[in-house]
Structures are given as structure tokens and as C-alpha cells.
Chains A and B, each alone.
Chain A
Amino acid sequence: MHDRKLKSDNNKAGQGEGAASTMNEELRFRRLAALEMGGPEAIKRQHANGRLTVRERFARLLDEESLREIGTLGGSGEYDENNKLVRVTPAPYVAGMARVNGRPVAIGGEDFTVRGGTTFGAARRKGGQGGFIEDLAHYYKIPLVNLIDGAGGTVTSAKKRGYVAFPGVHGFERSVQLLGEVPVVSAVLGTAAGGPAGRAILSHFSIMVRGTSQIFAAGPPVVKRSLGRDIHKEELGGASVAVDKAGTIHNAVDTEDEAFEQIRRFLSFMPQNVWELPPVLPCDDPVDRCEIKLRDIVPEKRTQPYSMHDLIDLVVDKGSVFEIQPTNGKSVITSLARLDGRPVGVIANNPKFYSGAMDASSAHKQIHFMELCDTFHIPLVFLVDVPGFMVGLKAEQEATLREGMRAVYVAGQLTVPTITVVIRKCYGMAGMATCNKNDIDLKISWPTGEWGSLPVEGGVAAAFRRDIESADDPKAREKELEAELRAYASPFRTAEAFAVEEIIDPSETRPILCEFIALAESRLRANLGPKGKAGVSP
């Protein structure tokens, strides 16, 4: 692969004065071979496909000069008949420790220019599942960044080995363990199938690039062989399927540089591990900033939606919002953000999509986000406007009830402080997934808040069916009953009963949240460490 020849004579090694310089020469030679990756032709092909090489990716993502590479010399050497090194093909994986935003990380990525980034036989794996770099993240308790660009195992390895490996030897045990210990971020930067695709999923945050990356359990040739269908890899596993439709990967971006920016952004909210608190940054946005605009943001007409994204922006520290899964499960918004510089997880229903009703995809999204924040001691802020679970045949076919109840189950086990702010609707079981009721965590409401088992409109028709049907004017009777019941639905009546802790002027939302989140610190500090796992998820 490389034409570079080792100039000095290896046979001199160990013979007095020249030995050290010869050894240095060999080290230099082998290091250069590593830097050349798969050679100029392979690099040109990688660029022509709109992708960077793994070394370019490291350079753009990491703090300058921060990479301490590990396993640089891993690869396959070729030797002549005198055992003299002729050339080296580097391992198709580059790894090391480095810094992101000044904080240490473990990082690894397949080198697609060397045999398509497939796994290679060595005494010790550099990366991939069970690889050295995962162990490094585990033992040093630092975040792991996977830059994924490979299709995993190849059937040729069986030929080399003489037998077929059993699934799970070199398995995902460490990858699974890491999910409860340190932040794991995966960027899919090429076509990922098999092991590397699985590893991308076993992360806290994953990202891919529209147009140049795809991910699937199995690629087009396998689909053709198994189902007789022709399908292009972009159609099968491009971002429109994997991110927008399926939520297999969390976020999609247009360029690799944007992917690196999102990785830095995500890590900026995370502690180094579950034994630490998330980092607090200086904040120049005043804690007592009262936004008058919030008083009019909810339309008077209950049937009109409004921008929950604008509402979030007005409340949290300016410019601090980092949305996870913006294009999937859109009836709920999940964003990392800051209040007075302290990381928080914002979960807000989006009235523009299904009126904020929870469907299967938004339940999945909310569950992942709650678990993420709970694991890394990031307090949760719920901004609630949820009419209930999504209804209809499609919703039932997607097991909305079961997925929704899983959200309730996970919410019920949260240990991080949560604060629930009811903006408008908070109904039924979906409403229960918006707070941790077992605790003393605050439930506060805007004056526009309304709640109950189910909204008055649908509920009246069901509960008073006979009364309505036997009336002279059934429509008028229904309206009359609705008006009567709505009087009880005033949030102030619930506040009288101290069943909601406070009703606030919407403009005070930021100051109140900032105070609560600052107060939460002692409690967060008292609960550091890994989270236990309880029971069987429904």
C-alpha cells in the first residue's frame, strides 16, 4: 500500500552506537506510515465521497495539539526475506486521549481509507466494542467519543481465523456498562452497519450527516439477498429515515464540522462521569430577567397553538438551548439548556404537533432524555401543555398507551430534582409523565393552566351521553354541561386545595426557575454516583 521504504538497515539494530538512531529511524518510519493512512488514492476517494479522513476529523473536533495517540504503530508490517521491514499498513482504527473544551475525553474512529475501516486481527483491539479505548474511558472515568465510519466485521476474518466467532465474544458488555458511567457520544460519519452501527446506538447522544452517512442493521446487498428488494443505501438508512422518521440516531447535521460542533456542545452540558456534577458556566444573562412577552404568548383561544420554542428561548439563559432530536417525536421538545449557567434538561410539549399529545415516538424521545438527565444529575424542567396520549387507530397500532406508560414509569423513578410548570393543558396519564409526584418537587402553573383526568370537551360527551341524547337540543345541553364543569377547572381552585404549589405570573418564570435550580445543587451533590435500576419496564 505504501511505497515508503525504510532507508536505514534494520540489521544494525542493537550494534553499539548506531542502534539508537536506527531505532529512532524505524519509529519515525512507522509513525509516518500511520499518518499516511490508506495512502493518497484512498484518501482522494474518501474526500470525493464528501467525507473527511479520521485524522482530519480528530484535528477539527479536538482542542488543538491535545491528542495523545494510543496504538499509533498498530497495523500489519511486511518484511522481506531478511526480516527487514518493507512497509506497514496501519490498523483501520485511530484512537487516543485528547481534550474537548479543555476537558479530557477518550476518542476513537475507524479509518475508512484502510480496508474500509473493517476490524483487523490483533492481540488487542484498539477500538470497536470491547476495544482499548472503551476500557480507557471506563478506567479513567472520562467521556468517550466514537467517530463511526465502518461496516464492522468481514467474512474474510473467518477465513483467516479458521472458524466463525460467536456473537458476543468481544461483545457490547463494556459499551453497556459505559452508559451508566460516562457520557458516550457517537457520530456516524460514513455508512455504518453491523457492530459499528450497534455501537452508535449504545450512546447517550448520536449524530449523523445528511447525504454522506447512513446507518442500518443491514445494508442494501443483504436486503436484496433476504427480501429480493433493490433499495439505495440513502433511502434505506439516510438521515430522513434514521433520524427524522425512526429516531435511530438523535440529530442530523449538514456537514461533519457541524457534527463536531454538536459533540462539543453536548459534552459542555455533561459531567465527566456520574460521580461528578455537570459543569456550571459563568452567565451574563440576569437571573431576575422578567419577560413581559410571556404574559401574552399563550393565545386566548384555547384551540390556537403557539411557539413553545420561543417560550423556552425567553426563559432559559440566552443562546443556551441545545435541542436533542428536533426532527423526531415532534409533539415534545427535549433540550439541554442553562439557567444561571447551570445545566438543565427542558421537556416541553409542542402544541403545534398533535396539540402536544404524546405518541409513541415522543414517548421514546422523552424517556431517553429523562434517563440521560437523571444519569448525569441534570435537573429537569417540564413546560407542560399536553392534552393526553395521542388517539386514533395509528396511535393504537404504534402502542402509544404502552410507550406512554413507560414514560410515566421512568418519570416515577426520577431522582434528579424536577420542576413542573403548567403552561396550558395537563391532562391524564400523559400529564403524569411530566413530573415526579413521589417527591416534593414543585408543580407550579401559569394562570392559563388547566388540568384533569381528561379535557372537559371529550369527557362530557362520554360521561353524560344519556343526559345529552335525551335533551331536546343535545348540542346545547352538551355546551351547558361543559360550561358547568369548566368552572371547576380553574387552576385557582386547585391552588386553594394546595394541590398545585403555586400559580405564578408568566413573566416571573425565569427568576423562579433559576432560584429553584440553584437550590437543587445540594441535593444533586448528595445523590452523586450511578443510578440503580428498578423493576421491569412496562
Chain B
Amino acid sequence: MTITNVASEVIGSVWKVEMKVGDAVKTGDTIMILESMKMEIPVEAPVDGTLAELKVQPEESVDEDQVLCTIES
């Protein structure tokens, strides 16, 4: 079993979270949407697996490279 960290590529804030812990995810699925520079930036799953942990909540500020959630596969 491996844990994959999903990190933010941008600085901004969490707009909405589209999945909940325990959901099955496929590569490319949108886990959450960030807001940065007035744009909606989807955060996509880099691997197949299960959403193991959500580390941020809507409206929370996020930094570049900050881990947003983890996927277990």
C-alpha cells in the first residue's frame, strides 16, 4: 500500500471540495477546486486509489507545494 500526497501547484484558497474521505478516485478525477488569481483550478488525482485524508477545508488558504489530501492505493 502506498500513500500519495497531493500538493497544490499554486497559491490561493480552497473553493470547494468535491469528494469525501473513503471515496474511490481514478487518475484525473477532480478532488477539489482551488481559487487562485480569480480562476477555478481543479486539483486532480495523480493516481487511482481511495481518498485517505483531507487536510484542508473550503475557504482555507493554501500555499504552493502544500499537501491538500492523500490517496491510498
A, B in one complex: yes
Q: Which residues in A have some Cβ–Cβ distance to B below 8 Å?
A: 301, 303-305, 330, 351-355, 357, 387, 390-392, 394, 455, 457-458
Complex: how many Å from CA A304 to CA B34?
11
Minimum distance in angstroms from B6 CB to a CB of chain A: 16
Contact present for B11 and A355 (CB under 8 Å): no
Contact present for B38 and A354 (CB under 8 Å): no
- Which residues of B have CB within 8 Å of A304? 39-40
Q: Does B32 contact A (CB under 8 A)?
A: no
Closest A-B pairs by Cβ, 4 of them: A355-B37, A355-B39, A303-B40, A354-B37
Contact present for B37 and A305 (CB under 8 Å): no
Minimum distance in angstroms from A118 CB to a CB of chain B: 38
B-side interface mostly:
loop
Complex: how many Å from CA A357 to CA B39?
11
Q: Mark B6-48, 1 if CB is under 8 A from A, else 0.
A: 0001110000000000000000000000011111110000000
A-side interface mostly:
loop
Q: Which residues in B have some Cβ–Cβ distance to A below 8 Å?
A: 9-11, 35-41, 64
Contact present for A457 and B40 (CB under 8 Å): no
Closest to A299 in B: B40
Would you mind naming 26 contact pairs between A and B with Cβ atoms under 8 Å apart? A301-B40, A303-B35, A303-B38, A303-B39, A303-B40, A304-B39, A304-B40, A305-B39, A305-B40, A305-B41, A352-B41, A353-B9, A353-B10, A354-B10, A354-B36, A355-B37, A355-B38, A355-B39, A357-B37, A387-B37, A390-B37, A391-B37, A392-B11, A394-B11, A394-B64, A455-B38
- Which residues of B have CB within 8 Å of A387? 37-38
Closest to B64 in A: A394
Q: In the complex, how many residue pairs between chain A and chain B have their CB atoms under 8 Å apart? A: 33
Complex: how many Å from CA A355 to CA B11?
11
Minimum distance in angstroms from B28 CB to a CB of chain A: 13
- Which residues of B have CB within 8 Å of A354? 10, 36-37
Complex: how many Å from CA A458 to CA B37?
10
- Which residues of A have CB within 8 Å of B39? 303-305, 351, 355
Minimum distance in angstroms from A453 CB to a CB of chain B: 16
Given A354-B10, A391-B37, 18 other A-B contacts at CB below 8 A? A303-B38, A304-B39, A305-B41, A351-B39, A352-B41, A353-B9, A354-B36, A354-B37, A355-B37, A355-B38, A355-B39, A357-B37, A387-B38, A390-B37, A392-B11, A394-B11, A394-B64, A457-B38
- Which residues of B have CB within 8 Å of A392? 11
- Which residues of A have CB within 8 Å of B37? 354-355, 357, 387, 390-391
Complex: how many Å from CA A392 to CA B10?
12
- Which residues of A have CB within 8 Å of B38? 303, 355, 387, 455, 457-458
- Which residues of A have CB within 8 Å of B64? 394
Complex: how many Å from CA A303 to CA B35?
9
Closest to B12 in A: A354
- Which residues of A have CB within 8 Å of B9? 330, 353
- Which residues of A have CB within 8 Å of B40? 301, 303-305
Complex: how many Å from CA A330 to CA B41?
14
- Which residues of B have CB within 8 Å of A305? 39-41
Minimum distance in angstroms from B43 CB to a CB of chain A: 12
Closest to A330 in B: B9
- Which residues of B have CB within 8 Å of A353? 9-10
Minimum distance in angstroms from B45 CB to a CB of chain A: 16
Closest to A354 in B: B37
Closest to A392 in B: B11
Complex: how many Å from CA A301 to CA B39?
10
Complex: how many Å from CA A304 to CA B11?
17
- Which residues of A have CB within 8 Å of B36? 354-355
Closest to A391 in B: B37
Closest to A304 in B: B40
- Which residues of A have CB within 8 Å of B41? 305, 352
Complex: how many Å from CA A355 to CA B10?
10
Minimum distance in angstroms from B40 CB to a CB of chain A: 5
Complex: how many Å from CA A239 to CA B40?
30
Minimum distance in angstroms from B5 CB to a CB of chain A: 15
- Which residues of B have CB within 8 Å of A391? 37
Minimum distance in angstroms from A308 CB to a CB of chain B: 13
